[in-house]
Amino acid sequence: MKVIDNLEMGAYSRVSTVEMRRDLDRIYSLFPILAERRKNRAGALSGGQQQMLAIGRALMSPMNKLYYERADYSVVVKNRAPPPKAWRWEIYRAGNVNPIKQSSVYFDTTAAARRAGKEALNELLNKLFA
């Protein structure tokens, strides 16, 4: 299957071809390499280009939100208070020793801190990639 075919598959449930063409142009503006390689086989793309294609195909569908988990970000829960123990979350980007964001609130359990940290990471990624 070609790159263009993959992107059009993401919009299979759409009725309006005008909207589809508009979104296709938006995808090509976000990922210019896909525009250059639109007639090539998708399997011949590099790994990063295939990720761009997967994101582009998801953005072509009529939906409200796209959740994309990135392996280069992590949520770490640390005990940062003396007894009684309390935990807080910190978000790290791969290769960084300092957190890029941390909670100002302490949690009673590690599970609660981890859950809040994952929500904060989703918010951060949505802002970065909106």
Give the DSSP per-residue string, 43-98.
GGS-HHHHHHHHHHHHHHSS-S------TTEEEEEEE-SSSSP-EEEEEEETT-SS
Residues 56 and 82 in one domain: no
pLDDT at 65 over 50: no
Residues 56 and 77 in one domain: no
Residue 82 pLDDT class (50, 70, 90 cuts): low
Residue 36 pLDDT class (50, 70, 90 cuts): very high
Structural domain harbouring 123: 73-128
Look at residue 19 and tell me if it is in a domain: yes
Quote the CA–CA distance of 68 and 54 in Å, as a whole number: 11
Residues 51 and 82 in one domain: no
Residues 12 and 56 in one domain: yes
Residues 50 and 78 in one domain: no
Last residue within a domain, chosen from 60, 87, 106: 60
Residues 48 and 80 in one domain: no
Quote the CA–CA distance of 108 and 129 in Å, as a whole number: 32
Share above pLDDT 70 across residues of the chain, in percent, rounded to a whole number: 85
User: For residue 31, with 0-12 CB atoms within 10 Å meaning exposed, 13-18 middle and 19 or more buried, which class applies?
Assistant: buried
- Domain count for the chain, please give it: 2
Look at residue 65 and tell me if it is in a domain: no
Residue 39 pLDDT class (50, 70, 90 cuts): very high
